[in-house]
């Protein structure tokens, strides 16, 4: 059974990035990563931008980029010094 953790925004968030819908891949089995990311992205086409927390896993980061490219979406780091969180936008 696949596990994906979807975090939803707090109403008291102050910055735009804090109120995005978020997918946290920590603890997700590698075999389920691609499906998890794709389902989250496609379920949230109307809610872009979204945040995907990959940790520093190059595998997870490559899968986020793969899905974004498949749907012609852009991807960038949440903060230039943080490789563990990515913003997906149209």
Structure confidence at residue 1 (pLDDT): 44
Pair of tokens at residue 69: 């490219």
DSSP string, 23-83: EE-TT--GGGHHHHHHHHHHHTGGG-SEEEE-TT-HHHHHHHHHHHHHTT-EEEEEETTEE
Cis peptide leading into residue 49 (ω within 30°): yes
- pLDDT (mean) for 72-89: 91
Structure confidence at residue 15 (pLDDT): 52
**pLDDT: is 12 or 39 the higher one?**
39
Structure confidence at residue 4 (pLDDT): 65
Q: Which domains does the chain have, with CATH numbers?
A: 5-89 (3.30.1370.110)
- How high is the mean pLDDT of the chain? 84
**pLDDT: is 29 or 9 the higher one?**
29
- pLDDT (mean) for 17-44: 88
Compute φ and ψ for 8, nearest 5 degrees. -110, 155
What is the pTM (predicted TM-score) of this model? 0.79
């Amino acid at each position: 059974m696949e596990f994906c953790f979807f975090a939803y925004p707090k109403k008291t968030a102050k910055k735009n990035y804090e109120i995005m819908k978020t997918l946290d891949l920590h603890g997700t089995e590698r075999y389920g990563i691609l499906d998890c990311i794709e389902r989250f992205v496609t379920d949230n086409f109307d809610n872009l931008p979204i945040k995907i927390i990959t940790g520093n896993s190059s595998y997870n980061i490559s899968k986020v980029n793969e899905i974004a490219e498949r749907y012609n979406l852009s991807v960038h780091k949440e903060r230039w010094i943080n490789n563990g969180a990515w913003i997906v936008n149209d």
